Amino acid sequence: MSESIAERTDDIVDEFDMFEDWMDKYDHIISLGKELPLIDEQYKVEDNLIKGCQSRVWLHADYDGEKVQFTADSDAIITKGIIALMIRALSDQTPQAIVDADLSFVDQIGLKEHLSPTRANGLVSMIKQMKFYALAFQSKQA
Amino acid sequence: MSESIAERTDDIVDEFDMFEDWMDKYDHIISLGKELPLIDEQYKVEDNLIKGCQSRVWLHADYDGEKVQFTADSDAIITKGIIALMIRALSDQTPQAIVDADLSFVDQIGLKEHLSPTRANGLVSMIKQMKFYALAFQSKQA
Amino acid sequence: MSNTSTSPFDIEAIRSQFPVLEREVNGRKLVYMDNGATTHKPKAMTNAITSYYETINSNVHRGVHHLSQRATDAFELTREKLRAHINAEHSYEVIFTKGTTDSINTVAWSFGELVKPGDEIIISTLEHHSNIVPWQMLCERKGATLKVIPMDDHGVLDMEAFKALLNEKTVLVAFNHISNALGTINPVKEMTALAHEVDAAVVIDGAQSMPHLNVDVRDLDVDFYAISAHKMYGPTGIGALYGKEEWLNKLPPYQGGGEMIDTVTFEKTTYAGLPHKFEAGTPHIEGVIAWAASIDWLNELGMENISAYEQELLEYGTEALLSVEGLKIHGTAPNKSALFSFNIDGLHHYDIGTLLDQLGIAVRTGHHCTQPLMNRMEVPGTIRASMGLYNTKEEIDTLVAGLNRVIPMLK
Amino acid sequence: MSNTSTSPFDIEAIRSQFPVLEREVNGRKLVYMDNGATTHKPKAMTNAITSYYETINSNVHRGVHHLSQRATDAFELTREKLRAHINAEHSYEVIFTKGTTDSINTVAWSFGELVKPGDEIIISTLEHHSNIVPWQMLCERKGATLKVIPMDDHGVLDMEAFKALLNEKTVLVAFNHISNALGTINPVKEMTALAHEVDAAVVIDGAQSMPHLNVDVRDLDVDFYAISAHKMYGPTGIGALYGKEEWLNKLPPYQGGGEMIDTVTFEKTTYAGLPHKFEAGTPHIEGVIAWAASIDWLNELGMENISAYEQELLEYGTEALLSVEGLKIHGTAPNKSALFSFNIDGLHHYDIGTLLDQLGIAVRTGHHCTQPLMNRMEVPGTIRASMGLYNTKEEIDTLVAGLNRVIPMLK
Ligand SMILES: Cc1ncc(COP(=O)(O)O)c(C=O)c1O
Ligand SMILES: Cc1ncc(COP(=O)(O)O)c(C=O)c1O
């Protein structure tokens, strides 16, 4: 997990290109969700809940002074798969890189299109929250 | 003015049958309005105002123990013509005759159809008010 | 209530009236089972809209010209049709509103003006937020207390508890005719009689009953009945509040504006009579007029026939769904509409809904605007497949097959 | 505000978009001059309605399925289009309502919760009942005082008197952008700046301006702006309330129900963010989505082009009408929309309107829901011919000829 965000998201796009139909894409997302490392239980608190999702999403960020590590969980497996994707793209990167990240891969793999606004808004909230953490770490640093 | 209400309204229907188009019918209504005897000024008061007309209508009724005499006025000449028609049909009749009167001539001469609801409601209010007076006189008598 | 039709229920002919049912979603034929949220519209209704705009569009009530007259006649005809449909006594007891939520807010505001501190208002555990929040806002504004009728695990209201809540402080009782989350059909007539014993007014949320049942407000003897057109095959943005004449006369107006006044001066304004007193502003003329087409169309089918057909779907669907492993149905009242609210053991409703959508099956997932009810059932939400009169047993089979396909993906 | 079109104003092409204009009334071609009451609709709008119902009809915001997503996208797109059209900063500052009356009642109720006894609210002599009665109701409820800006005989508001009314007790100023009875265009920007000097909030009744002017709420700096779709070539039953974010955040919600909540328990309810906080219940989805078609269509024509064309009609019509013997125009402000409010010496407005209708000419007669204004002008009512963008000079000629025909009948 040390390539640039752009490299990682290109990989994700390639990966999703392999699937013929959406059921297969979802199958993949679900397996990513199942593989997502468990978040430390102490972080599954109200404060880490992301608004705007039909399912509940907890997102936690750690910063070692150089890179940000995200961990997350959700009660819905598809949502969890989507966070897994976002973590794969953004975790273990510098705050600056996260803030600047181009996340058009979300559109490219068709996620935005295929998610209803309720869900898409959840995704938007997720991205917002991740960038918000990065921004906070960045300003602490400055 | 002593035929029965039915005879009078038959006359009115015949009269209106002569006109080819609605402009002529209105011309006739207007001239009836102009000919309507003036109401005694003392009766042009709030209490005699009929609700539900775009124009204002004052209606007064006198009862000599046998027959009811209606007088009326309006600030709009077409409305006045229509009241003139109603008075021609209903005035100088017994309360019982007025209460029982069949007023389908209004439909027959096309008035109801050609009057907008605002106006038609005014007409409905007018008829209601005339029958209401008759009813009041009748019960006083009883 | 001209529900005298006895024609057989020709489902193909019915479906052909709904162009949207022909469409594909994600490459599959749409299976629409979100009728509790909103129903689709028969062509007669959409044709009525176009015809209104292309022939008589005009503002109503105040115009002396021909179009205004025609529009007003058509507008008032709907009021009369709706009156007949719910068997109200007078057409002026039918007030046009934006929908059920607006209707309930209208009562909550206007009735609220008569409420005193310490008064009690009773609602039920089964309520939609639209029949909770307005009463909470009223109680807060007036210092009244909100009481809640509990229910059993089948989703049936506890009548003994209801009786125990009723007392001389009770001024109003509000509950739905049919629960949108569980399908429970509440005993409106019986509960209304109980409420009337303590002189409480009764407000019924009829959002979910109008599409399924023959509603007779005089037989039920309710004081207010709230309706949404869009849930009964009518247009969006329009609904009605039925109110008994004596109540409507007693209540102060809700909104101020055009139509609802008698005379206005800067010093003093007097209000118009019913129904205008409660209809401020230009109404949704198109919606009102087109709604009549839906009502006519429902009556041609016959509300009894619709109920009977949907009960068949309920029976068939309940059995079919229970064949799915790990499926639990929420809401198993003996008197129930054709609505299936369920969860799959260990799986999240949202995952199921998302995958069913990929198969073209439209269900609703979540709390269905009944969060307190979800809390009572200790679930974060359910999957809800709510039937309309155009749904079929084949579609239920498709739903069951869909579930059997997606559940293994999630396990 | 994509009003950059400079295409010539092709009136025949425009008229061909309005099927109703082809119809006959009482054997004559309809001449529709009641646009102040409601406008007709371009085909693009009615087509959008049919297309909505036949392809994506669904409830919005809460669904995970495809139709609900499509409907929500289209619904929110209108919000964004309307935002751009009035140049609001954020789309969530656009709240969907039933129309202008509903918008004003929403502010009057919610703002009213912040009003204290002794506070002053200023309106103007030119107001429609919808912008009078809600403030009267609020003043009565909260013990505030209503003040009225007087006007001169041309129908122009008295700015010196307005300044004199403003003081530190003034909490809110409400007036229309264009008077529906006289056509006066009020100096909104200037009056808003004055009101803001005493920190009063400014509510503009934009019912009559939206169809005629390019409205820029940020340039005007108003706090609230109320809109009806049906008066701007859009569907009935829908409108909007623009409100500055800071105000909308400060105000408590108006109606309670679905959509407008964050969490609900029987003990405590928390409200959703903007715009949902003010949008309880299922919205008028069809109306919102179809409204976008009207807005696009207006922007293709270009609001500036529309204003310019209508000003031509105003000039032409004023001269033509003044040629009619005994005709007096009410409302002769230098800054005026294409609206003719008039009376004929010694004749009743109702008689004129009735006979013009026989000639297929639709005008409005009466007090136009502005009784205090009629009292100020000492007339029981007027005849009002209000132009839309599809009216022509030939139609004005027809009106004048009609007047010259009916007046002698009544003398
Ligand atoms: C100036 C003005 N304000 C308010 C209104 C009320 O608008 P609506 O009836 O669409 O709510 C109107 C229209 O009747 C109007 O002309
Ligand atoms: C039981 C119930 N009550 C009230 C409502 C609110 O209806 P509307 O959104 O049409 O105002 C709904 C629908 O969402 C409902 O199902």
**Same-domain pairing of D227 and D322:** no
Flag whether D1 is in a domain: no
**Same-domain pairing of C71 and C125:** yes
Bridge partners of residue D124, in order along the sequence: D149
Give A95 to chain D, closest Cα distance, Å: 28
Q: Does residue D207's CB lie within 6 angstroms of at least one atom of ligand 1?
A: yes
**Same-domain pairing of D312 and D248:** no
This model of the complex carries an ipTM of 0.94
Flag whether D6 is in a domain: no
**Same-domain pairing of D150 and D102:** yes
- Chain C residue with the nearest C-alpha to that of D19: C54
pLDDT at D122 over 60: yes
* C-alpha closest to that of C135 among C111, C162, C165: C111
CATH number of the domain enclosing D377? 3.90.1150.10
**Same-domain pairing of D402 and D326:** yes
The pLDDT value recorded for residue B3 is 87
**Same-domain pairing of D259 and D317:** no
Residue D392: give the domain boundaries.
11-42+302-410
pLDDT bin (cut points 50, 70, 90) of residue D4 is very low
Mean pLDDT (whole number) for D376-401: 97
Count of other CB atoms within 10 angstroms of residue B31: 13
The pLDDT value recorded for residue A113 is 64
Q: Does residue D192's CB lie within 6 angstroms of at least one atom of ligand 1?
A: no
pLDDT bin (cut points 50, 70, 90) of residue B36 is very high
Tokens representing A90 are 């953004």
Ligand 1 pocket test target in D96, D102, D130, D339 with most atoms within 8 Å of CB: D130
Flag whether D4 is in a domain: no
Mean pLDDT (whole number) for A105-111: 84
CATH number of the domain enclosing C101? 3.40.640.10
Flag whether D106 is in a domain: yes
The ligand placed nearest to the CA atom of residue D257 is: 2
Do the chains A and B touch each other, judged by at least 3 C-beta pairs below 8 angstroms? no
pLDDT bin (cut points 50, 70, 90) of residue A127 is confident
Bridge partners of residue C227, in order along the sequence: C240
Flag whether D285 is in a domain: yes
The pLDDT value recorded for residue D1 is 40
The pLDDT value recorded for residue C79 is 97
Count of other CB atoms within 10 angstroms of residue C145: 13
How many domains is chain D built from? 2
The pLDDT value recorded for residue D8 is 67
Written in H, E and C, the secondary structure of chain C is: CCCCCCCCCCHHHHHCCCHHHHCEECCEECEECECCCCCCCCHHHHHHHHHHHHHHCCCCCCCCCHHHHHHHHHHHHHHHHHHHHHCCCCHHHEEEECCHHHHHHHHHHHHHCCCCCCCEEEEECCCCHHHCHHHHHHHHHHCCEEEEECECCCCCECHHHHHHHCCCCEEEEEEECECCCCCEECCHHHHHHHHHHCCCEEEEECCCCCCCCCCCHHHHCCCEEEEEHHHHCCCCCCEEEEECHHHHHHCCCCCCCCCCEEEECCCCEEECCCCHHHCCCCCCHHHHHHHHHHHHHHHHHCHHHHHHHHHHHHHHHHHHHHCCCCEEEECCCCCECCEEEEEECCCCHHHHHHHHHHCCEECEEECCCCHHHHHHHCCCCEEEEECCCCCCHHHHHHHHHHHHHHHHHHC
The neighbours of chain D, by the rule of 3 or more Cβ pairs under 8 Å, are A, B, C
The pLDDT value recorded for residue A128 is 87
Cα A114 to Cα C355: distance, rounded to the nearest angstrom: 11
pLDDT in tens, A52-81: 667 888 999 999 999 999 999 999 999 999
Q: How far is the CA of C258 from the centre of ligand 1 (A)?
A: 7
Q: How far is the CA of D130 from the centre of ligand 1 (A)?
A: 6
pLDDT at D7 over 60: no
- Chain D residue with the nearest C-alpha to that of A55: D64
Flag whether C4 is in a domain: no
Contact in structure between C295 and C234 (CB atoms under 8 Å): yes
Tokens representing B88 are 């021609």
**Same-domain pairing of C272 and C194:** yes
Domains and CATH numbers, chain A: 5-141 (3.90.1010.10)
Flag whether D91 is in a domain: yes
Give me the average pLDDT of each 10-residue run along chain C (411 residues). 56 97 94 98 98 96 86 95 98 98 98 98 98 97 98 98 98 98 98 98 98 98 98 98 98 93 90 94 98 98 97 98 98 98 97 95 96 96 98 98 97 90
Give C361 to chain D, closest Cα distance, Å: 8
* C-alpha closest to that of D73 among A118, C18, C25: A118
pLDDT at B115 over 70: no
Count of other CB atoms within 10 angstroms of residue C259: 23
The residue among C240, C269, C300 that closes a domain is: C300
The residue among C300, C329, C358 that closes a domain is: C300
pLDDT at A122 over 90: no
Instruction: Kindly report the average pLDDT of chain D as a whole number.
Output: 96
The residue among C284, C300, C316 that closes a domain is: C300
**Same-domain pairing of C31 and C50:** no
- Tokens 């119809």 correspond to what residue? D23
- Chain C residue with the nearest C-alpha to that of D125: C266
Tokens representing B73 are 């006025």
**Same-domain pairing of C319 and C254:** no
**Same-domain pairing of C188 and C246:** yes
Residue B43 falls in the annotated catalytic set: no
The ligand placed nearest to the CA atom of residue C369 is: 2
The pLDDT value recorded for residue C62 is 75
The pLDDT value recorded for residue D259 is 81
**Same-domain pairing of D289 and D348:** no
Strands C94-97 and A68-74: unpaired
- Better pLDDT: C375 or A22: C375
pLDDT at D3 over 60: no
Q: Which ligand 1 atom is the nearest neighbour of the CA of D100?
A: 11
The pLDDT value recorded for residue C1 is 40
Bridge partners of residue C157, in order along the sequence: C151
The pLDDT value recorded for residue D130 is 98
The pLDDT value recorded for residue C3 is 42
Bridge partners of residue A60, in order along the sequence: A71
**Same-domain pairing of D275 and D243:** yes
pLDDT bin (cut points 50, 70, 90) of residue A114 is low
Flag whether D2 is in a domain: no
Mean pLDDT (whole number) for B41-55: 83
- Record the pTM: 0.96
Q: Which ligand 1 atom is the nearest neighbour of the CA of D130?
A: 4
